Amino acid sequence: MRTLRGFLDFAVVLIFVTIGRAHHNDGETTRGIISTTWPFAVGLVLAWLFLVKTKRGGWTFKAGVLVASVTTTIGMILRVISGQGTAAAFIVVAFSFLLLGMLGWRLVAKVVVKRRAS
């Protein structure tokens, strides 16, 4: 099940990157998507390693907030180190999108599980 949760979080990151690159006319080349994705992917992996190490479930809203926060923070730090942009507006948009996406799929999962149980 962790794999599914991690995949859904990663899908949110990829959607964010693809929409952002398309919106800024940066193109959706494989190289471009990888260069924009990798800092957030590293942040996501570190967030999930923390969840696994602390034996926290990844389905909860609290986990979603943690994953979005760590993914955004580490992603932005790595973007600075690698010479990519981190304008204040970008940080706000990135965190907002990742938080809404990562909480969104958790909300859908919670509703589906609740319906199946009843």
Query: Is residue 69 within 8 Å of 35, Cβ to Cβ?
Result: no
Eight-class DSSP state of 59: S
pLDDT tens sequence across 72-115: 999 999 999 999 989 999 999 999 999 999 999 999 999 998 89
Per-residue tokens: 86: 């981190």
The token pair that represents 66 in the structure block: 């943690």
Give how many domains the chain has, as a whole number.
Answer: 1
The whole domain housing 66 covers 2-117
Question: pTM for the complete prediction?
Answer: 0.91
Give 80-85's long-range contacts (Cβ < 8 A, gap of 24+): 82/39, 84/35, 84/36, 84/39
* Model confidence pLDDT, tens digit, residues 19-75: 998 887 666 788 889 999 999 999 999 999 999 999 887 889 999 999 999 999 999
